[in-house]
Amino acid sequence: EAGVVQSPRYKIIEKKQPVAFWCNPISGHNTLYWYRQNLGQGPELLIRYENEEAVDDSQLPKDRFSAERLKGVDSTLKIQPAELGDSAVYLCASSLGGTGGYGYTFGSGTRLTVV
């Protein structure tokens, strides 16, 4: 099993430029999450999907961030335009959901640097 796959691993862009991250969750995991992790902090949820539906996007800065999960599998997270404060690691995670105690499986993340 490949686990949660994310790309790219690293991205450096100039401010005001757009950027996109891609995530392929574990097969069979209907729940997909995008988290942002700033240096020295815990991950913070941006958006949660159940299949193709965004069921919690309350923490997503909608003026510049957007996400989609077409067909309920892969997902992309986009920032347009990027700001210096967006520099962080963007983590995708998936889970079986429910109370089975399986936890979240995180991808390796995309480290974004905005200069």
The answer to the question of residue 45 lying near other proteins (CB under 8 A) is: yes
Question: How many DSSP H helices and E strands does the chain contain?
Answer: 0, 11
Min dist CB 15 to other proteins, Å, is 25
Min dist CB 34 to other proteins, Å, is 11
Identify the sign of the CA torsion 26, 27, 28, 30: positive
Distance CA 83, CA 87 (A): 8
The answer to the question of residue 40 lying near other proteins (CB under 8 A) is: yes
Residue in 26, 54, 78, 104 binding other proteins, rule: CB under 8 A: 104
Distance CA 7, CA 76 (A): 10
Min dist CB 50 to other proteins, Å, is 9
Distance CA 59, CA 13 (A): 23
Min dist CB 70 to other proteins, Å, is 22
The answer to the question of residue 106 lying near other proteins (CB under 8 A) is: yes
The residues near 61 (Cβ < 8 Å, ≥ 6 apart) are none
The answer to the question of residue 108 lying near other proteins (CB under 8 A) is: yes
Contact set with other proteins (CB under 8 A) = 31, 33, 40-45, 48, 55-56, 91, 97, 99, 101-109
